Amino acid sequence: MVLLLEAREDLPMSAIEPDTKDWTWVLQHPCPECGYVAEDPDRTALGDLVRGNAALWPVLLAAPDAAARPGPDVWSVLEYACHVRDVQRVFSERLALMLDQDDPLFANWDQDETAVAERYDLQAPAVVADELVAAAETVAAQYDAVPADAWTRSGRRSNGAVFTVETLGRYHLHDLVHHAHDVRDAAARATREAYDAHAAAYGAATAHLDDAVAHLRERFVAAVGTGARVLAIGSGPGRDAAALEAVGLSVRRTDVSTGFVELLRAEGHEADVLDPLTDGLDDPLRPGTPYDGVWASASLLHVARGDLPLVLRRLAEATRDGGVLHLAVKEGTGEGWSTHGSVTAPRRFTYWSENGLMAVVEAAGWHVEQRGYGTGSRGERWLDLLARRR
Taking only the tens place, the pLDDT of each residue in 316-365 is 999 999 999 999 999 999 999 988 788 999 999 999 999 999 999 999 99
CA distance 253 to 291: 13
**Fold matches, 6-10+23-182 and 190-389:** no
| 339 contacts 331 by C-beta, under 8 angstroms | no
Taking only the tens place, the pLDDT of each residue in 39-82 is 999 999 999 999 999 999 999 999 999 999 999 999 999 999 99
CA distance 280 to 314: 9
Buried-exposed string 341-366: b where 16+ CB fall within 10 A, e elsewhere: eebebbbbbbbbeeebbbebbeebbb
Residues sharing a CB contact under 8 Å with residue 206, sequence separation 6 or more, in sequence order: 236, 237, 239, 342
Beta pairing, strands 381-389 & 366-375: antiparallel
CA distance 137 to 135: 5
Whether the model pTM is above 0.75:
yes
pLDDT of residue 340: 78
| 359 contacts 373 by C-beta, under 8 angstroms | no
- Please provide the CATH number assigned to the domain covering 6-10+23-182: 1.20.120.450
CA distance 356 to 26: 17
| CATH level 2 (architecture), domain 190-389 | 3-Layer(aba) Sandwich (3.40)
Extents of the domains making up the chain: 6-10+23-182, 190-389
